[in-house]
């Protein structure tokens, strides 16, 4: 079923770009062909696919992701009878699937496909990172200014991009000097038993945990369906 949607979205994208700039499927395949060797190195297992099949897979999967990003961000409209738009469970499911480690496509492949699929005069100043983070923010619900501040971030893949968006503004302390052991952080119940208090605070990142005068200040981490299935 999903593969049918991928081919349908690819057909829609090719129709749009061929009409606007004359780009065909061959142009997409040729644009990423020089990146084949580097892309295959990103996978832990040896890719047995021949060049033609591998490039086709990258274009099919990559363009599907890009079209989802564009439609959710209203750069392109959903068709009125598009089941992806009418079934409420599908897009949250894609949020989870796009972040699974086994589903990652090298970010430089997505960027190349994103650039070649742009319509001249449209999407100027729009970055792939911004589109991607806005898409995932439908589930993560972070402030708009946080997403905007990460619009020029890159990454190895989408999962790495999302990870970087949580850590890019954190003040990470230097590693301990050689010979010093990293202290063990006990569980909350033990910390409370020893007299340490826990206070909640609103922060851009759930990783922004601080200890001040015997009080741990930390953001709330909500475990919903998205978090449970992504962990």
Ordered by start, the domain boundaries in the chain are 2-167, 170-231
Predicted confidence at residue 14, as pLDDT, reads 96
Predicted confidence at residue 207, as pLDDT, reads 64
For residue 198, what are the β-bridge partners?
216
Predicted confidence at residue 89, as pLDDT, reads 84
Q: What is the pTM of this model?
A: 0.79
Predicted confidence at residue 197, as pLDDT, reads 78
Predicted confidence at residue 187, as pLDDT, reads 76
Residues of the chain with pLDDT under 50: 229-231
Predicted confidence at residue 231, as pLDDT, reads 46
Predicted confidence at residue 180, as pLDDT, reads 64
Predicted confidence at residue 85, as pLDDT, reads 87
């Amino acid at each position: 079923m999903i593969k049918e949607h991928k081919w349908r979205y690819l057909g829609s994208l090719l129709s749009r770009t061929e009409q606007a700039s004359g780009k065909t499927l061959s142009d997409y395949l040729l644009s990423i062909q020089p990146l084949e060797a580097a892309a295959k190195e990103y996978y832990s297992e040896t890719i047995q696919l021949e060049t033609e099949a591998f490039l086709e897979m990258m274009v099919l999967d990559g363009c599907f992701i890009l079209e989802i990003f564009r439609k959710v961000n209203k750069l392109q409209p959903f068709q009125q009878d598009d089941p992806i738009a009418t079934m409420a469970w599908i897009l949250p499911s894609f949020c989870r699937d796009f972040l699974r480690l086994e589903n990652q496509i090298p970010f430089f492949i997505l960027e190349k496909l994103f650039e070649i699929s742009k319509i001249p005069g449209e999407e100027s100043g729009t970055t792939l990172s911004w589109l991607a983070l806005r898409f995932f923010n439908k589930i993560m619900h972070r402030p708009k200014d946080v997403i905007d501040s990460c619009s020029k971030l890159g990454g190895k893949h989408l999962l790495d991009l999302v990870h970087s968006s949580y850590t890019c503004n954190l003040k990470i302390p230097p590693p301990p000097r050689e010979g010093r052991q990293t202290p063990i952080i006990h569980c909350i119940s033990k910390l409370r038993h020893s007299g340490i208090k826990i206070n909640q605070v609103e922060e851009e990142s759930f990783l922004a945990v601080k200890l001040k005068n015997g009080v741990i200040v930390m953001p709330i981490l909500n475990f919903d369906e998205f978090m449970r299935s992504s962990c």
